[in-house]
Amino acid sequence: MHRSRRAKIVATLGPASSSQDMIRTLFTAGVDVFRMNFSHGSHADHAERFAAVRAVEQEFARPIGILADLQGPKLRVGRFADGPIVLAQGAAFRFDLDPALGTAQRVQLPHPEIFAALVPGAELLLDDGKLRVRVERCDAQSADVTVLVGGKLSERKGVNVPGVVLPISALTAKDRADLDTALKLGADWIALSFVQRPEDIHEARQLIQGRAGILAKLEKPAAIDRLEEIIAAADAIMVARGDLGVELPAEQVPAIQKRIVKLCRKLGKPVIVATQMLESMIESPVPTRAEASDVATAIYDGADAVMLSAESAAGKYPVEAVTMMNRIIEGTEADAQYRQLLDASHTAADSAATADATAAICCAMRRAATLLKAQAICCFTTSGHTSLRAARERPSAPILSLSPELQVARKLALAWGVHSVHAPNIVHAESLAPEACQVAREQGFAAPGGSIVILAGMPFGQSGTTNMLRIAVVE
């Protein structure tokens, strides 16, 4: 089976979608990559879901990607002696390291890193931004604040510190344990939360050692300040709009989303647009028209994938949510303006970051596929680089990616326009075109008499050697 669309669907597994039967249904409805949220569930729960996904993969003989999403640091206030308190606008309040139960005047904030980074005038956001306070005085042990936006504050509610780079690793002790489990289970992508700087990605890469791709979640304003460095350091990007919208004004998020997608396309890195895409479908069998438009906007911008979170993990209508997202993508890509917008927003590979031999071959491929009205573009790849570089060009024909490495084939399930196939390595040049034509026919992409464009590298089997473009007619 293959999808008729180019953009991909990432769906989160959870209590509403854990059984193998449900995972099979979600896959046939349109899911390309399954996300495991390590903020919830036990390692045993995730192991069962991994096994179920791999069983469905084997059943359909189609590589399926698995994304393990690490929780990252969670900054929270302590507990209160007498239950929730109410912070009135203009009132004074204190955060400190004292583990004593909180009162109406103070509460523990068990994160010395926050106090180390605070300065007078800085603001703290509480409970997903519902409450806002300003720092008046602070030291290494405490911070006296004035309430700017008041309300009820319960124990263990989250704290955000916008505009401040916190001296905290993106990987907690829990994350390291979760990472070890995810890698042992065979995750294809690791999503890194709380990324503030490219050094966070370098730290994770030392631990992962090439066993999975690194996907950086952009949810902190500090990350936006070093956006290009972070995208260059990561293997893929997620626009985590929910968390990003807590620390940034809501009106800035759409422009930042477009900026991230545009830069990812320029640098050839897969990008997922995530959070609240079909939020109402947690409780409703149909989305709002605004949500449908939101998904379509990400597709028009050329995002590689869109993601479902609670809609598929804990909602009442997980299958309907995936089906609806699939329909929105197909409808958007069928619009004549879709191709016009993709072509208009295409950037040439003229920078040092993107200009190499593979880039030159893929630029020629894009033009050849358009002129010949090619039925498919067949990429022979060992590392996945050729297929990702082909996807960067957003060609008019689908990209049929053939890799002898199963994990590479699974990782490429995330990339725009890529239909990934686990196939034996090519050994002899004379078998290149016949093999490409045969797979294109078998996978339903090409018919006799049609043209396909072939990308490969010689010597075969060596990563980073893309140097060949061939045109073949399917017999």
373 a catalytic residue:
no
| Strand, coil or helix: 441 | helix
Q: Which amino acid makes up residue 396? A: S
Determine which one of 5, 8, 197, 217 is catalytic: 217
217 a catalytic residue:
yes
Distant-in-sequence, close-in-space partners of 222: CB < 8 Å, separation ≥ 6: 164, 165, 196, 197
Determine which one of 3, 76, 205, 470 is catalytic: 76
Rounded to 5 degrees, φ, ψ at 344 are: -65, -30
Rounded to 5 degrees, φ, ψ at 188 are: -90, -30
Between strands 142-149 and 305-308, the pairing is unpaired
User: How would you classify residue 337: left for phi > 0, otherwise alpha for psi between -120 and 50, otherwise beta?
Assistant: alpha
Determine which one of 5, 132, 220, 275 is catalytic: 275
Determine which one of 6, 8, 35, 269 is catalytic: 35
Largest alpha-carbon pair distance within the chain? 80
76 a catalytic residue:
yes
Distant-in-sequence, close-in-space partners of 321: CB < 8 Å, separation ≥ 6: 11, 278, 281, 287, 308, 311, 312, 315
Total Cβ atoms within 10 A of residue 208: 19
Could you tell me which of 376, 362, 369 has the C-alpha nearest to residue 474?
376
Residues 102, 108, 110: CA angle, nearest 5 degrees: 155
Residues classed as catalytic: 35, 76, 217, 275
